[in-house]
Amino acid sequence: MQRAEPSRRRPPSASRPIVLAWVVMFALAFALRAGGAWVAPFSPAPGDPAIAAADAVASNLARGSGFTLETAQGLKPTAAVPPVVPWLMSLAYRGLGHRPLAMLLLRCAIGALVPLLLAAFGRSLFGDPVGRWSGWLATVHPLLVVTATARPLETALAAVMLLALNLSAGWVRTPRAGRALGAGLTWGGAALTHAAALPLPALVAAWGWRPLGLALDAGGRARQLGLLLLGFALVVGPWTLRNALAVHAWIPVSAAAVGVASATPWLTLTRGWAVATLPLVVWGVVCSLRGGRRWFQALPLPIVVALAVTAAVRRGGFDARVPIEALAALYAVVGFEDARRRLRARARGLTVVPGRRASGPPASGR
């Protein structure tokens, strides 16, 4: 007589807690951004040209009129705004109608993706604790909360840029043709989200030349960088050609509609947060440049510098603040984790060596 074997339960998957944490992070980020939009007066200013132009283009797209704006002579093709955000808005208009609720849901969803993407990028560069806590910090970051609904173009730039940075880090860690092309395609999407992202792929290519040399020769590195730039051109090129044919201007992305009419209340609101976290951000940058992986972990720095230059030379300079704050949150967590580790090591009589675990004092020779 055969005996029935006891049923064996499948062990729980190790990825389930991570997925659950990400779901909770997204839900909390979405709730904070939606709640802030309902209870606080952070709606876009009526005279903000960027959002007004994006909304008008999205409405025409939803009606099937293409990327056009209403003029005295009727609908005219336009390149006044990058196409990604108006296209996403048009999808919401088609599905839910031209209602404020549709825009609120879309903006909150894009804003809630920023903490998840920052957590994934931080985990790729600095490990799981830094990635996880940087995501939670971005979830409650006051500037990222209020700008999710009030500055949708910049919030979308932060989301796509973080995705491109994560793909770029994975590509440099394990160089493959598909990864290089995918990173370039994503950077092209970032450029079509906001004009501030146009020079960023060149900075990533310059940064990646040295770490790629650890696995490839000069010819292999050149091919990888060529694929990165090819992916970027495959996305930006067709839109540039369309602008040349439709509006008779060889421009990849126009920044003419960028406005900063209502930036001052947000800067005043978040000034205390920026001052409080600045020491941690500076210390996080110092720590990232001292370890054995300092070149690899320096990827966000040229991006921050380029966006800061953009903020300095453009009118008002607020449009680059949102992605800068997202990366600053990452470095703040890096600085906090290093300070916490040093305090714990000092309490136990250990020594922290940059790039290594804490070690005890040398044994006395006998």
**The predicted structure's pLDDT at residue 252:** 74
**The predicted structure's pLDDT at residue 64:** 87
State the Cα–Cα distance between residues 177 and 44, nearest whole angstrom: 42
**The predicted structure's pLDDT at residue 180:** 96
Q: What are phi and psi of 76, to 5 degrees?
A: -125, 140
Mean pLDDT of 204-228: 92
- Of 338, 359, 241, which is closest to residue 285 (Cα–Cα)? 338
> Residue 111 CB: number of other CB atoms within 10 A?
31
| Average confidence score pLDDT of the chain | 83
- Of 226, 29, 296, which is closest to residue 136 (Cα–Cα)? 29
Q: Which residues contact 31 (CB under 8 A, 6 or more apart)?
A: none
Query: Structure tokens of 139?
Result: 């979830």
State the Cα–Cα distance between residues 123 and 333, nearest whole angstrom: 12
**The predicted structure's pLDDT at residue 343:** 87
User: pTM of the entire structure?
Assistant: 0.86
205 band by pLDDT with thresholds 50, 70 and 90: very high
State the Cα–Cα distance between residues 88 and 92, nearest whole angstrom: 7
- Furthest CA-CA distance within the chain: 94
State the Cα–Cα distance between residues 106 and 120, nearest whole angstrom: 22
10 Å CB burial of residue 272 (0-12, 13-18, 19+) is: exposed
- Of 160, 108, 118, which is closest to residue 138 (Cα–Cα)? 118
Concatenated DSSP letters for 271-319? Answer: HHHHHHHHHHHHHHHHHHTTSTTHHHHTTHHHHHHHHHHHHHHSSS--T
State the Cα–Cα distance between residues 324 and 300, nearest whole angstrom: 9
Concatenated DSSP letters for 99-127? Answer: -HHHHHHHHHHHHHHHHHHHHHHHHHHH-
> What residues are paired with 70 via a beta bridge?
75
- Give the tens place of pLDDT for each residue, 327-344: 999 999 999 999 988 888
Mean pLDDT of 27-51: 73
Degrees (nearest 5) of the Cα angle 54, 56, 62?
A: 100
Considering only 29-43, 87-101, 195-209, which range has the smallest mean pLDDT? 29-43
State the Cα–Cα distance between residues 11 and 251, nearest whole angstrom: 56
186 band by pLDDT with thresholds 50, 70 and 90: very high
Burial profile 301-332: b = 16 or more Cβ within 10 angstroms, e = fewer:
bbbbebbeebbeebeebbbbbbbbbbbbbbbb
Pick the more confident residue, 279 or 5.
Answer: 279
Considering only 147-151, 155-159, 316-320, which range has the smallest mean pLDDT? 316-320
Look-up: residue for tokens 């054995």? 292
State the Cα–Cα distance between residues 334 and 42, nearest whole angstrom: 31
Phi-psi region of 4 (alpha: psi -120 to 50; beta: other; left: phi over 0): beta
Phi-psi region of 40 (alpha: psi -120 to 50; beta: other; left: phi over 0): beta
Percent of the chain with pLDDT over 70: 81
